[in-house]
Amino acid sequence: MMSNVKTLTIPEIAMIAATRGALGFGAGLLLADKLQQPKRKTLGWSLFLTGLASTIPIAMHVFRKEEPTT
């Protein structure tokens, strides 16, 4: 039985964390009432969609990555 374990480098982890952060921050701005609505919606949607769009190629990279054999 083969284990489905992926090894990530520090830059890959940082990239994943940054996209998750942008996605979460954008969603938070969309739900918050701290900024004026037009600015909040523009910034919130920009961050949310950037985080979402960048997640797809990163996930493809991680899941297609070949692990070295020992």
Q: For residue 7, give every residue at least 6 positions away whose Cβ sits within 8 Å of its Cβ, in sequence order, or none.
A: 67
In sequence order, what are the residues at sequence separation of 6 or more whose Cβ sits closer than 8 angstroms to the Cβ of residue 27? 44, 48
Q: What is the pLDDT of residue 3?
A: 63
Q: Would you kindly state where each structural domain of the chain is located, as residue ranges?
A: 11-63
Does the pTM surpass 0.85? The reply is no
**pLDDT tens for each residue of 1-39:** 556 777 888 888 888 888 888 888 888 877 787 777 888
CA angle 43, 60, 56 (to 5 degrees): 20
DSSP-derived letter for residue 5 is -
The whole-angstrom separation of Cα 68 and Cα 70 is 7
pLDDT tens for each residue of 42-64? 888 888 888 888 888 888 887 78
